[in-house]
């Protein structure tokens, strides 16, 4: 099912979230330094539609700003500090744009899982913007990215916008009708919370032809146990070289 995509076993979660402020260029550089070959990061839009890398809907936790990203224009977002909250050593770190991130990935030769993380009620427009940006700007030198989301509306829209995209369906818990959903959004991977996966579940999903990716696995032994259970890849805050 993944003919055109070779996903590594170890994927740096939000870069290398355990060592550097998540979803920043420093975090992606750190993941590379640690030997990761792919990183995962979250993409959403500012109020005025600039694609930026951030996990939360609100600015409060990971920047010195306040309030929803969806109500903040890029000129304000661009002034925020996205590093000092993690460690003073990272003060001055900016929220990266998707464009800047793509350029850095190219420079570092890092592959990526791009997670569409739309602000509330922006599932479709954010998906279109991301799909178009990938189609236009993704470097040919890099492997094709995996595009995932918890929002099935986003996945459906992204795939419709650019049918070549490789889609990963993210679930916190596996719905009983997951096969129908996966087919409908044309997913090629199933991405799950490691806390809910069972051997039976992994087998069932693998038997349907889907690789299983699990987040967030910060214990090495657990990672190798999951691989032995049939998990294809893990997302970790502490990526390592294999
Ligand atoms: O894609 C794996 C993982 O990033 C999903 O959860 O909340 O960290 O984006 P979250
Ligand atoms: Mg994510």
The total domain count for the chain is 1
115 lines ligand 1 (CB under 6 A): yes
Residue 136 lies in a domain: yes
Q: What is the pLDDT of residue 225?
A: 98
Residue 207 lies in a domain: yes
- Which tens digit of pLDDT belongs to each residue from 133-163? 999 999 999 999 999 999 999 999 999 999 9
Residue 221 pLDDT greater than 80, yes or no: yes
* Nearest CA residue ID for atom 7, ligand 1: 55
Residue 2 lies in a domain: no
Residue 188 lies in a domain: yes
- The catalytic residues are 13, 55
Could you tell me the pLDDT band of residue 2, with boundaries at 50, 70 and 90?
Answer: very low
Give me the chain's average pLDDT, please.
97
Residue 4 pLDDT greater than 80, yes or no: no
The interface predicted TM-score of the complex, written ipTM, equals 0.99
**CA dist., res. 208 & res. 100, Å (int):** 37
Can you spell out the DSSP letters for 195-230?
TT--HHHHHHHHHTT--EEEE----HHHHHHHHHTT
Residue 226 pLDDT greater than 50, yes or no: yes
Residue 111 lies in a domain: yes
Mean pLDDT over 83-104 rounds to 98
* Nearest CA residue ID for atom 5, ligand 1: 215
Report the candidate in 214, 212, 222 with the shortest Cα–Cα distance to residue 194: 214
Q: Which two tokens stand for residue 27?
A: 């975090």
Residue 1 lies in a domain: no
Find the CATH number of the domain harbouring 47. 3.20.20.190
Q: Where in the sequence is the domain holding 103, given as residue range(s)?
A: 10-236
Report the candidate in 115, 125, 130 with the shortest Cα–Cα distance to residue 168: 115
Strand locations in 16-149 (E) = 38-45, 51-53, 111-116, 146-149
Q: What is the pLDDT of residue 128?
A: 99
pTM: 0.98
Residue 3 lies in a domain: no
- Which tens digit of pLDDT belongs to each residue from 192-212? 999 999 999 999 999 999 999
Instruction: Looking at the CA of residue 55, tell me the nearest atom of ligand 1.
Output: 9
Residue 242 lies in a domain: no
């Amino acid at each position: 099912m993944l003919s055109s995509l070779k996903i590594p076993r170890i994927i740096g979660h939000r870069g290398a979230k355990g060592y550097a402020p998540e979803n920043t260029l420093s975090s992606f550089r750190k993941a590379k330094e640690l030997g990761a070959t792919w990183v995962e990061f979250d993409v959403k839009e500012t109020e005025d539609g600039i694609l930026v890398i951030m996990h939360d809907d609100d600015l409060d936790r990971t920047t010195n700003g306040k309030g929803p990203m969806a109500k903040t224009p890029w000129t304000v977002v661009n002034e925020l500090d996205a590093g000092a909250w993690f460690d003073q050593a990272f003060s001055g770190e900016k929220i990266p744009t998707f464009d800047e991130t793509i350029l850095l990935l190219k420079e570092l030769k890092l592959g990526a899982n791009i997670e569409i993380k739309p602000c509330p009620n922006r599932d479709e427009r954010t998906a279109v913007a991301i799909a178009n940006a990938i189609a236009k700007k993704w470097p040919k030198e890099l492997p094709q990215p995996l595009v995932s989301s918890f929002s099935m509306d986003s996945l459906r829209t992204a795939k419709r916008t650019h049918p070549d995209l490789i889609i990963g369906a993210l679930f916190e818990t596996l719905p009983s009708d997951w096969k129908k959903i996966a087919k409908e959004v044309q997913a090629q991977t199933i991405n799950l919370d490691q806390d809910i996966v069972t051997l039976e579940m992994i087998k069932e999903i693998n038997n349907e032809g889907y690789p299983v990716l699990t987040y967030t696995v910060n214990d090495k032994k657990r990672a190798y146990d999951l691989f032995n259970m049939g998990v294809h890849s893990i997302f970790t805050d502490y990526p390592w070289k294999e």
